[in-house]
Amino acid sequence: MADRERRSSLHGFLDSVTSVRGSDLAQALRDKFPLMYVDHRGLGRSDKPHDPDAYAMSLRAADAVAVIDELDIERAHFIGMSWGGRLGFGIGEHAPERVLSLVIGGQHPYAWPDSPLTRVVSDGLIAAQMQGMEALIQAMESFWDIRFPEALRARYLDNDPAALHAAWTKALAEGPISKNLGEWRIRCLIFMGAEDTDFLEQAERAAKEIPNAVFLSLAELDHIGAHMGQGIRSSRLSSARCMLTSARSR
């Protein structure tokens, strides 16, 4: 039933629902599609356990399924950015029967790489345990040579560093999300900033291994540029819109 179809927006590592509602991607899609916004466990108004095992991918995927269960929705489209993109792959692996399509940006389904960004976040989270969230935010701003908008920065600073560290620790240890992406039958759009050297190669590989996947490169954008929505309002947005509507007849 078209009126029961929903698109669940899964956000990045530091983002709360408040941040996602104001994102360029959400603004570009919300007039055309009914959107759901869900805080990851460890963020926003969701529970914030400090035990890494509480962030197992199977549990995180079950959280997303519990939301659509509560709304009496059988299947949904899932849109994930960065940390939310990683969860999108997890939902595709652990609950494929609940997925109409996946739109995933800035992530991949393989073991987490030992990349410059990974090291910056890992070191920043260790520092945040002693110095507070400012240490992590400054590390990320220095890495990308930016300063987050003040309202967004304030929301980032309001996060629980111990919960984030637990979630990050589990993600680094979890290994690949799927044993065989070639068995997937889910429609996927995987997009990535062309300058995202941390994840680009793995994302392209995933798009080749998943039978119904399409890969989209965002020219001149790195990870944070794509995550912050730069260029999302371009004609490339039509690819996401097509993916989110084409599954209706299935």
Phi-psi region at 64: left, alpha or beta (left = phi > 0; alpha = psi -120 to 50): alpha
Residue 217 within a domain = yes
The answer, yes or no, to whether residue 229 has pLDDT greater than 90, is no
User: Does residue 82 lie in a domain region?
Assistant: yes
User: What's residue 104's pLDDT?
Assistant: 94
**Per the structure, how many domains does the chain have?**
1
Domain that holds residue 219: 2-109+180-249
Residues 92-132 pLDDT 10s? 999 999 999 999 999 999 999 999 999 999 999 999 999 99
User: pLDDT digit string (tens) for 164-221?
Assistant: 999 999 999 999 999 999 999 999 999 999 999 999 999 999 999 999 999 999 888 8
CATH code of the domain in which 103 resides: 3.40.50.1820
pTM of the complete model: 0.90
pLDDT surpassing 70 at residue 225: yes
**pLDDT of 250 above 90:** no
- Mind listing the pLDDT tens digit for each residue in 139-170? 999 999 999 999 999 999 999 999 999 999 99
Give the pLDDT score at 161: 97
Question: Could you tell me if residue 114 is inside a domain?
Answer: no
b/e 109-136 (16+ beta carbons within 10 angstroms → b)? bbebeeeebbebbbebbebbeeeebebb
